[in-house]
Amino acid sequence: TLTFTATNVSTSKVKTLNIKTTDLIGNLSVAVTGTNAAMFTTSVTSVTKETTNTMTGANITVTYQPTTIGQHT
């Protein structure tokens, strides 16, 4: 779960996730789902097993840009 602080409508906040694994045998798909998924975007739609199996892993940014007031999931 990512938690974003209060954000004004039409402004954005960004969080970075680092995905680091060992022995992953396939690529990972990246998607945002839920009632308000359209208010969230990701920097990539997939990460390769080669990238995630490294010491540094793969960074994925998630951007939250609300279009209405309230809590969004």
The SS3 call for residue 39 is helix
List pLDDT tens digits, range 13-66. Answer: 999 999 999 889 999 999 999 999 999 999 999 999 999 999 999 999 999 999
Q: Apex CA 26: angle with CA 21 and CA 32, to 5°? A: 80
Please give the sequence-ordered ranges of beta strands (E in DSSP) within 1-73, or none if there are none.
Answer: 13-19, 28-29, 40-42, 46-47, 58-64
Q: Apex CA 15: angle with CA 47 and CA 20, to 5°? A: 35
Q: How far apart are CA 2 and CA 14, in angstroms?
A: 10
pLDDT of 1 higher than 90: no
pTM of the predicted protein model: 0.88
